Structure 1
Amino acid sequence: MAAKPFASSTDLSAKQQTLEVLADGVYALTAEGDPNIGAVEGEDFVVCFEALATPVAAQKWLARLREHTDKPVRYLVLSHYHAVRVLGASAFDAEVIVAHENTRALVAERGKEDWASEFARMPRLAEGADSVPGLTWPTLTFSDRMTIDLGGDRGDLVLQYCGRGHTEGDIVAWLPRHRILFAGDLVEAEAALYTGDAFHRDWSTTTLDRVAAIGADTLIGGRGGVSRGAAAVGSAIDQTRYFLQVMIREVGGVQERGGSLKEAFERTHAALVDQYGHWPIFEHCLPFDVSRLWDELSGVERPIIWTAERDREVWEQLQS
C-alpha cells in the first residue's frame, strides 16, 4: 500500500475564519480546525493570545481585530513554543512577549528544528514564510502564575501553568470576570490532538484536572470551535482526556505484549478513528503522537527533537 501524502502537505484549501466577540473586548478567531487565536482589551491596551505562523498571516488577523479596537498591543502571550503559534510575533509590535520559562528554554533547545519541521508538515499555514525574521523570543517569563491588570473596571487576565501537557511549557489565560478561558492546545474542541512533544500521563490526569478546576463557562481551545456553557467546556476537556487515555491504553498494551511501534500505531488508529477520524489533522498527527508516546512509555522522559528528516522517517514507517 502506498504511503499517504505527508502530514498536511496536500491540505491546501483555505479555511473559513470566524471572528467572535465573546464579551465586551474579548475576541476569538477560529478557522475550521486551523490554530485559534484571541485578544483581550485592557483599558488602554490589548493583550493578544498566540501569534500564528508568520507575520503575513498575523497581519490579516490584526486587520480583523482593528475593526473593533485600535488600542496598541502591550502584551503578546504565547501558550507554548510551536512554530505555527509563535513565528508571526513580529507583526504585533508588542511591548512585552510573555511565555512560560520552559517555553523560552524550548525555543533555545529546539526552536530552529521545530520551525523547519512544522512548515514542512503544514505548508498552507506558512503563508509568507519569508516574512519571518527569526525565532520568537519571550521577553518576560514566569513559572506558575502571572496576573495582568487590565485597568479600569476590566478586571484581571490570569496566566497560569497547569503542568506538563501538550509541551513542557503550556499556559492558559483566564478571565475571571467573564469566566472565559483561552486554553491553547491543552484542550481541543472537535479537533484531533497533536502529542508529538507531549507528556501524556501528566496531561491526561493532573494537568487536565487543573484546567477543569478553573471552572470556565466559555473555553477557546487550540483548534476547533468555541465551547460555550459548562457542559460544552466539560465535553471538550473530556474528549481531550479520552483521546490521551485511549492512546496510553493501546500503545502501553502493545509494549507489554512485546509488539512493535507499527502495531501500536495500527491499534491506536483503529481505536480512535471512528470517534476522531473525521476531525481536523487526525491522520496528520497520529504517527507523531504514537511515536512520542512509545518513547515516553519506554522511559524517554523528554521528547526527542523533531526534525524535517525525522518527520519523514516516522511518517514512512507508520503511514505506509
Structure 2
Amino acid sequence: MVQKAFASSADLAEKEQSMEVLADGVYALTAEGDPNVGAVEGEDFLVCFEALATPVAARAWLARLREHTAKPVRHLVLSHYHAVRVLGASAFDAQTIVAHDNTRALIAERGRQDWESELGRMPRLFREPASIPGLTWPDVTFSDRMTIHLGGDRGTLELRHLGRGHTEGDIVAWLPRQRVLFAGDLVEAQAALYTGDAYHADWAGGTLDRVAELPAEVLVGGRGAVVRGRPAVAAAIAQTRDFLRVMRREVGGARERGGTLKDAFQAAHAALAPRYGGWPIFEHCLPFNVSRLWDELSGVERPAIWTAERDRAVWDRLQS
C-alpha cells in the first residue's frame, strides 16, 4: 500500500462556506465538511456555538454574522475541548465562555498536546496560528444542564450533557421553541466521524438515544450540511450510530480472531469505505479511530493523550 499524506495535511483547498438562517435569529455556517459554527440571538445579546481554530478564522465567521446582527456576544458555548473548536475564542469578546465540567478538566490535562496534534493534522484550519493567544479556558462550567433565557418571546437555549460520546465532555445546544439542535460532533451529517477520544459503546447507545429523544426539526452537526425535517434528522443520527457500530463490529472481530491492530484497521476500512469512504475526513480519522477503539476494547477506559509524535507513529503503522 502506498502511504497516504498525513491526516489532512494535503487538504489545502479552501472550502465554500454557506451562511444559513435556520429560524428567526438562529444562524449556522457550514463549509463542505469543515467544522460548523452557529449563533442564536437573544433579545439584546448573542450566544455563539463553537469558536473555530484561530481568532483570524473566527473573525471571518463573525464578519458574516455581523451582516445579520450587531448584538454583542454574551455567551460563547464550546461543545467540547478539541483545538479546532476552541482556540479562536478570543475573537468573540464574550462575557462568558461556557463548557462542560469535563471539558475544562480535559483542557487542563491535554489541551496543549491536542493543540499541537491538531495543528499538524489539519494545518489549513489554523489560519494564522500565531494569532492564538493561548489555551481557551471556560469561565462557566456545568455537569448536566444549563438554561440561557433569551429574553422577549425568544424562549430558552438549553445546554445539555447527554452522555459520553465524541469526548467525555460533549454538550449540545437545544432550542425547544424553534426545535433547532446544535449537536456538536455527537452527530455528523454526511461527514465521517472522528472517535480518537471517544467512548464508542456509550456514544452508539444511550448518548445517541438521548439525542434522538429531542424533537429536533433542524440539526446542525459538527460537520456537514444542515439537516432539515424529522426524517432527515433521524437519518443523520442513524448514520452516526451505524458508523460506530460497524467500527465496533470489525475491530472487535479482529481482536477476537487474534489479529493485530493493523488487521483491525484494514477490516474496518473495508467495511466502512463503500458507504463512507468519500465523505470528508474519512481517511484522516480512521487510523486514530481504530487505535482508540482497540484500546477501549482492551480495557483502557480513558483515551490516551494524542501528541504530534503519537499521531505520526499511529499513522505510519496503519496507513503505510
Task: Sort the TM-score into its range (normalised by shorter chain).
Answer: over 0.9
C-alpha displacement at 1:29, in angstroms? 0.2
Q: Aligned partner of 2:54: which letter?
A: T
C-alpha displacement at 1:257, in angstroms? 1.0
C-alpha displacement at 1:144, in angstroms? 0.3
User: Counterpart of 2:219?
Assistant: 219
User: Counterpart of 1:156?
Assistant: 156
Alignment gaps of 5+ in structure 2: none
For residues 278-311 of structure 1, the C-alpha deviation after alignment (integer angstroms, 9 at most, x for no partner) is 1000000000000000000000000000000000
TM-score norm. by structure 1 comes to 1.00
RMSD: 0.4
User: Counterpart of 1:23?
Assistant: 23
User: Counterpart of 1:248?
Assistant: 248
User: Counterpart of 1:284?
Assistant: 284
User: Counterpart of 1:43?
Assistant: 43
Q: Aligned partner of 1:166: which letter?
A: H
Q: Aligned partner of 2:231: which letter?
A: A
How far apart, CA to CA, are the structure 1 residues paired with 2:258 and 2:277? 27
User: Counterpart of 1:275?
Assistant: 275
Q: Summarize the alignment of residues 14-93 of structure 1 with structure 2, pairs less than 5 Å apart.
A: 14-93=14-93
Q: Aligned partner of 2:272: which letter?
A: L
For residues 153-209 of structure 1, the C-alpha deviation after alignment (integer angstroms, 9 at most, x for no partner) is 100000000000000000000000110000000000000000000000000000000
How far apart, CA to CA, are the structure 2 residues paired with 1:263 and 1:86? 35
How far apart, CA to CA, are the structure 2 residues paired with 1:308 and 1:150? 41
How far apart, CA to CA, are the structure 2 residues paired with 1:18 and 1:218? 16
For residues 3-52 of structure 1, the C-alpha deviation after alignment (integer angstroms, 9 at most, x for no partner) is 11000000000000000000110000000000000000000000000000
SS of the residue 2:192 aligns to: coil
C-alpha displacement at 1:2, in angstroms? 2.9
Q: Aligned partner of 1:299: which letter?
A: G
SS of the residue 1:29 aligns to: strand
Q: Does the alignment pair 1:315 with 2:309?
A: no
How far apart, CA to CA, are the structure 2 residues paired with 1:131 and 1:18? 24
SS of the residue 2:99 aligns to: strand
Q: Aligned partner of 2:136: which letter?
A: T
C-alpha displacement at 1:215, in angstroms? 1.4
SS of the residue 2:6 aligns to: coil
Q: Summarize the alignment of residues 67-146 of structure 1 with structure 2, pairs less than 5 Å apart.
A: 67-146=67-146
Stretches (4+) displaced over 2 A: none
SS of the residue 1:288 aligns to: helix
How far apart, CA to CA, are the structure 1 residues paired with 2:295 and 2:215? 33
How far apart, CA to CA, are the structure 2 residues paired with 1:290 and 1:162? 24
SS of the residue 1:316 aligns to: helix
User: Counterpart of 2:202?
Assistant: 202
How far apart, CA to CA, are the structure 2 residues paired with 1:177 and 1:247? 36
How far apart, CA to CA, are the structure 1 residues paired with 2:188 and 2:215? 16
How far apart, CA to CA, are the structure 1 residues paired with 2:256 and 2:79? 35
For residues 199-254 of structure 1, the C-alpha deviation after alignment (integer angstroms, 9 at most, x for no partner) is 00000000000000011111000000001000000000000000000000000011
Q: Does the alignment pair 1:9 with 2:5?
A: no
